[in-house]
Structure 1
Amino acid sequence: MHFTRSRDLVVAAVLGLAVVYVLFQAAYGDLPPLPTLAGVTFAVLAIAEAGLALSIRSRIKSGRVHGDAVGIARAVALAKASSLAGAFLGGAWLAAFIYVFPRRDELVAAVSDSRSAVVGAVSSALLVAAGLWLEHCCRTPPEDRRESTD
């Protein structure tokens, strides 16, 4: 498994943006209002991943990761999945914002949906950042650093 590349995140964000924008164009009038705090779930996940990243980082720096390679590998998989999901849904929330923001004057629901889209986009960005940081914290230190701590 390779580390997450920025182009992977950009592709996921563009896909999310395109899919949701087309969906909004086709069916916005039939959709229920977006809950204002719908995107906060990603902010909560971002906080949990940041805590996990701090824990793993301190264990790697202190050399206490022997025998926990499977746990670190799972954290890397979680980090990669989180950053890609955050990018995709960040694009989706951005599409929602792009669609509803110009319509705030003509549609009452667009005002509340604009706020929801901002909350979702910010929360998605936090998840991407936390996922990338967790992935960074799971990297093995260079050989010369590991030998100097022994």
Structure 2
Amino acid sequence: MLKQTRIRDLLALAVLAAIVAWLLVRTMYGSLPPIPVYAGASLYPVAVIEVILAFMIRSRVGKHEIGEGPGRLHPITAARAVALAKASALVGAASAGVWAGFLLYLAPQRGVVQAATDDTSGVLVGALAGIALAAAALWLEYCCRTPEDPDEPNEPAV
């Protein structure tokens, strides 16, 4: 039985990634190329796909259309969706942390270094993309839960 992804674990990963990124950026910022606005945007399509998948699975679970047969959601598909959600939540948290580490370095430098001002928009897009992916993944994982059973607490449909 799989445990639900805990938000505090994702926050811990994001903080760790932010600290490591801040330390690296602090020492290497001058040698990094400019950060374009679309640098972190690649996570947005994945987040959108996961939200769509979550609504599809939620609909099937709500209608008790789980099992083998046409028009039904195979249990292995639900298990794969939970695995995707768990992995995406980690990627989103780590990515948001890395971009937050960049932002922690760039924010005080904005008044001094023009490159820091130019890079801030790309860093914000990336940080929001990481947060969006983590949120979409948590929603997908939540939608994969089995319908409530009065005798047992909710668990992912795996």
Please report the TM-score for the alignment, with normalisation by the length of structure 1: 0.91
Q: Percent identity?
A: 43
SS of 1:40 mapped into structure 2: coil
> How many angstroms does 1:114 deviate by?
0.8
Q: Structure 2 matches for 1:1-150, cutoff 5 A? A: 1-67=2-68, 68-143=74-149
Post-superposition offset of 1:107: 1.6
Secondary structure in 2 aligned to 1:38? coil
**Contact 1:9–1:83 (Cα < 8 Å) also in 2:** yes
C-alpha distance in 1 between matches for 2:54 and 2:75: 15
Report deviation, 1:36.
Answer: 1.0
Alignment partners' CA distance in 2, 1:81 and 1:19: 20
Distance 1:90 1:103 in 2: 20
Distance in structure 1 (CA, Å) of the matches to 2:120 and 2:103: 5
Deviations 1:40-83 (A, max 9, x none): 11111111100000110011111212131111011001111111
- Does 130-139 or 57-66 show the bigger shift? 57-66
SS in 1 for 2:42: helix
CA distance in 2 between partners of 1:85 and 1:16 (Å): 11
**One-letter amino acid of the counterpart of residue 47, structure 1:** V
SS of residue in 2 equivalent to 1:16: helix
1:94 counterpart SS class: helix
Which residue identity is paired with 1:75?
A
Q: Distance in 1 between matches of 2:130 and 2:50?
A: 13
Report the RMSD for the aligned CA atoms in angstroms: 1.1
Following superposition, the deviation at residue 139 of structure 1 comes to: 0.3
Once structures 1 and 2 are overlaid, which stretch shifts more, 61-70 or 134-143?
61-70
Q: Is the 8 A contact 1:36 1:112 kept in 2?
A: no
CA distance in 1, matches of 2:149, 2:113: 60
Which blocks of at least 5 consecutive residues in structure 1 are unaligned?
145-150
Higher helix share: 1
Q: Secondary structure at the match of 1:112?
A: helix
